[in-house]
Structure formats: structure tokens, C-alpha cells
């Protein structure tokens, strides 16, 4: 019996299904890696429902298209989930039962939109990576219930604008907007007091107001605006940095 098992790596195999009772006795298992398998069949993930002690779950690059919200019903301790490189279809209530969730990776998943209330039941949520997708915008209510939210990576998408209300309830410290279609960054958009790092390179930014970062109580320590279309910075632009 593997009752004391805390970490297991089953990546880079040809697994097609995780049996329902596979982890029934593993009450200390915290770190599980199933990445790069072939878990695209219906009910292929059913065995994950018994991972009651899991904290970090990697099921990236497994050809997964759909995840039922019931998958997380018993995973009260789950904090991090890696779904990168899966052609996943997002359901509005997908993470409702993952109450301890802090981090989600969904890079290169072919995503075109994010449900507005996807993280409404995840009060501890802190980090989201949805880079390298085909997203054109994010709903202004996406982070309304995530007061501890700190890091967002939306690089390599097709976004040209975001609602100025989207980050109003967050504690954002770092944001990656690079490789999108932004033409400016409005002062009201990044108006949180906690912001430290802004990655905005490789956009189409041609104009920035003097007060683009005026709401930051603590001065930004990292700002990348390279590979844009700026021809002029106003006189007082750096007074806010």
C-alpha cells in the first residue's frame, strides 16, 4: 500500500483513463503529475475525484476537452492546477467546488473567451495564466470576487481593450499584456495601489497619458513598453513612476 505517498509523476506515458479507485487509499498525496498522457476519453478523469489531499495537480497536454465541475467536489485542498496545452471547453461553474484554488494555468488551449463568473467561488485565487490563446477581451466582472488576485498573464492573445472596472477589486502586483493589440493604456485601467510590474511590449501602443500609472501608491519597479508605436512621451509621464 502507498498510504504515505506524497508525490507521484506519471507524465509522458500513454494513459487513457484514471480508474475511479486508483487513489482511494492515498490520503497524503499532495503533488500529482499526469501531463502528456491521452486522457481525452469520456470519464477519463474520474479517478481524480478521490485525490482528497492533492494540492498541486498537473494534467497539461492530455488532450482534455471538457472537465466536469464535480471533478473538484472532494478536492478541498487543491491550490494549483495546470491545464496548459489542452483544447479545453470552459464551463461557467467549472471551479465552483475548488474552494482553496489559488493558481490556474491555461496557456495554449485555443480559448476564445473566459466565462464572466469562472472564479466567483474561489476567494483565495491569486494567479492566472491564459497566455497564447485567441482571447479578444475579458469580462469586467471576471475578478470581482478575487480580492487576493495578484498575477495575470494574458500575453499572446488578440486583446485590444479591457474594461477599466476589471481590476478594481484585486490586489494585482504583476500583469503581462504583451503581444496583444492594445493601442493605449488608460489611467483608470491599472488603478490599483499594489501594482509593481507591467509587461506591455509588442503591442500597438501609440499614445500614453501623463497619468497612465498615477494611481499606483507604490512606484512601479518594472515597465516594458518596447516594440510599440510610441513617438512621444508627455513631459510629466515619469512623475508618476
Backbone phi, psi, residue 69, to 5°? -55, -25
Q: Residue 215: pLDDT above 70?
A: no
Residue whose grid cell is 499572446: 156
Q: What is the pLDDT of residues 29-84, one digit of tens each?
A: 999 999 999 999 888 999 999 999 999 999 999 999 988 888 999 999 999 999 99
pTM assigned to the model: 0.95
Question: For residue 193, what pLDDT band results from cuts at 50, 70 and 90?
Answer: confident
Bigger pLDDT: 1 vs 197:
197
Bigger pLDDT: 79 vs 217:
79
Q: Residue 227: pLDDT above 80?
A: yes
Question: For residue 171, what pLDDT band results from cuts at 50, 70 and 90?
Answer: very high
Which is nearest to 176 in space by CA: 204, 215, 150, 206? Answer: 150
Bigger pLDDT: 122 vs 214:
122
Q: What is the pLDDT of residues 16-25, one digit of tens each?
A: 999 988 888 8
Q: Residue 238: pLDDT above 80?
A: no
Cα separation, 147 vs 150, whole angstroms:
9
Amino acid at each position: 500500500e502507498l498510504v504515505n505517498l506524497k508525490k507521484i509523476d506519471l507524465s509522458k506515458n500513454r494513459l487513457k483513463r484514471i480508474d475511479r479507485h486508483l487513489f482511494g487509499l492515498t490520503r497524503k498525496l499532495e503533488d500529482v503529475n499526469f501531463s502528456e498522457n491521452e486522457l481525452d476519453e469520456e470519464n477519463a478523469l474520474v479517478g481524480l475525484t478521490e485525490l482528497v489531499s492533492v494540492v498541486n495537480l498537473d494534467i497539461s497536454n492530455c488532450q482534455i476537452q471538457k472537465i466536469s465541475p464535480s471533478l473538484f467536489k472532494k478536492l478541498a485542498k487543491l491550490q494549483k492546477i495546470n491545464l496548459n496545452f489542452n483544447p479545453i471547453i470552459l464551463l461557467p461553474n467549472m471551479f465552483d467546488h475548488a474552494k482553496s484554488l489559488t493558481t490556474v494555468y491555461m496557456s495554449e488551449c485555443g480559448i476564445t473567451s473566459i466565462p464572466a463568473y469562472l472564479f466567483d467561488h474561489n476567494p483565495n485565487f491569486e494567479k492566472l495564466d491564459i497566455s497564447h490563446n485567441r482571447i479578444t477581451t475579458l469580462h469586467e466582472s471576471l475578478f470581482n470576487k478575487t480580492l487576493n488576485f495578484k498575477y495575470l498573464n494574458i500575453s499572446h492573445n488578440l486583446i485590444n481593450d479591457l474594461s477599466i472596472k476589471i481590476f478594481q477589486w484585486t490586489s494585482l502586483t504583476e500583469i503581462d499584456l504583451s503581444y496583444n493589440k492594445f493601442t493605449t493604456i488608460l489611467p483608470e485601467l491599472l488603478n490599483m495601489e499594489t501594482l509593481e510590474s507591467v509587461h506591455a511590449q509588442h503591442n500597438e501602443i501609440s499614445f500614453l497619458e501623463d497619468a497612465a500609472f498615477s494611481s499606483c501608491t507604490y512606484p512601479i519597479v518594472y515597465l516594458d513598453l518596447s516594440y510599440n508605436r510610441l513617438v512621444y512621451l508627455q513631459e510629466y509621464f515619469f512623475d508618476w513612476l
